[in-house]
Amino acid sequence: MPDLKQYQGLVLIGVMATITLWLAATGQLELYISPRHTIFAVTMSAVGLIAVTISAMHVSPGPPRAVRRRVPRFLSGAATALTALVTAAMTLLPPATLTSATATQRDINSTIVPADESTLLTDTAPDAAAANLSLADWASLLRQSTDLAFYDGKTVRATGLITPDPDDPDNVFYVSRFYVTHCTIDAQPVGVPVYLPDWNSTYDADQWVELIGTFEANGSLSSSQAIAVAAQTIDTVDEPSDPYIYR
């Protein structure tokens, strides 16, 4: 009689490999890892699935259990239950991006994100250059300067999800995205602050929007941001298929 514990490992590896392949097949793997790592993850998952299948068909009795259990039964049971719960969540919950909760928890624009040097603005750069800037570029610029003269005449066009400013959540929000190097574990939130009193009567946190506006002095007294975008238009949009900015 084969040891069921051996099948447990094969089942778990099989579930993880299958989910990886399914996400890749449906174009959603990028919600979790960088596209640069897709080939490796998919290849090894396929190899793993083959190995699991072959092992499961021919597995023979495992080593004898001559080992005294030291882990209390309730701990072992809790670990098994937790493993089952995580596996069920992986299998049943729809794929999702990180939300504004993590953006707030990780402190938007708290780290420097490498900007595309070709798009960095100078005082003398034409205003049209601003149209090519990504949210990561704007975040880099905001860390370099909050001098309104620098931003004068430059229009911000950005798409991202709404994250309330923790210092003034009723009047200021960020249009934000996550900058990801490898996977969501290293995701860093970047964004531009928008001053719009009572914004949550019109929009919801975590809603994706397309913002057009210009920087002005932040009208909020409690926000830590010196300048913020005064919006010309804010249109709600669907979450894009590539919600993260990958390095």
Partner 1 sequence: MFTVRALTGDIAFVDLPNAAQDLVTLTLSVLIESIGFVIFGILLSVLVQVWIPDRWVIKVLPRNAAARRMIISVLGVLLPVCECGNVPLSRGLIARGFSVPEAMTFLVAAPIVNPVTILTTYQVFGFEDGIFVARIIGGFLIANLIGWLFSQHPQPARLLTERFSAECTVVNHDHSHDRNTKWQESRNLFARESAAIAPALILGAFIAGLVQVAVPRAVLVALGSNPVWSVLALMALAFIISICSNIDAFFILPFASTFMPGGVVAFLIFGPIIDIKMLVMMRTTFTTKTLIHITAVVALMSAVIGFLVNFYA
Of 39 and 226, the one with the shorter C-beta distance to partner 1 is 39
Give the nearest distance from C-beta 90 to partner 1 in angstroms: 6
Give the nearest distance from C-beta 81 to partner 1 in angstroms: 11
Binding mask 98-137 for partner 1 (x = CB under 8 A): xxxxx--xxx--xxxxx-----------------------
3-state secondary structure of 212: strand
Of 18 and 214, the one with the shorter C-beta distance to partner 1 is 18
Check residue 5 for interaction with partner 1 (CB under 8 A). Answer: yes
Of 51 and 231, the one with the shorter C-beta distance to partner 1 is 51
Pick the stretch among 88-96, 116-124, 152-160, 216-224 that binds partner 1 (CB under 8 A). Answer: 88-96
- What's the N-to-C CA distance of the chain in angstroms? 50
Of 134 and 213, the one with the shorter C-beta distance to partner 1 is 134
* 29 phi/psi in degrees, rounded to 5: -65, -30
Element at 55 (helix H, strand E): helix 38-58
For residue 135, which of 187, 179, 97, 99 has the smallest C-alpha distance? Answer: 179
Q: Which of 1, 75, 92, 149 binds partner 1 (CB under 8 A)?
A: 92
Retrieve residue 111's tokens. Answer: 């780290």
Whether 240 and 213 have beta carbons less than 8 Å apart is answered as: no
Of 95 and 219, the one with the shorter C-beta distance to partner 1 is 95
Number of other CB atoms surrounding residue 134 within 10 Å: 20
* 241 phi/psi in degrees, rounded to 5: -70, -20
Find the binding residues for partner 1 in span 202-221 (CB under 8 A): 206
Pick the stretch among 82-90, 120-128, 194-202, 230-238 that binds partner 1 (CB under 8 A). Answer: 82-90
Q: Which of 182, 232, 240, 242 binds partner 1 (CB under 8 A)?
A: 182
Find the binding residues for partner 1 in span 27-66 (CB under 8 A): 29, 31-33, 37, 40-41, 43-45, 47-48, 51-52, 54-56, 58-60, 62-66
Separation of alpha carbons 173 and 177, rounded Å: 13
Of 98 and 175, the one with the shorter C-beta distance to partner 1 is 98
Separation of alpha carbons 236 and 202, rounded Å: 10
Q: Which of 1, 93, 128, 149 binds partner 1 (CB under 8 A)?
A: 93
Separation of alpha carbons 204 and 23, rounded Å: 28
Give the nearest distance from C-beta 101 to partner 1 in angstroms: 4
For residue 234, which of 203, 205, 206 has the smallest C-alpha distance? Answer: 203
Whether 45 and 21 have beta carbons less than 8 Å apart is answered as: yes
Retrieve residue 215's tokens. Answer: 């920087």
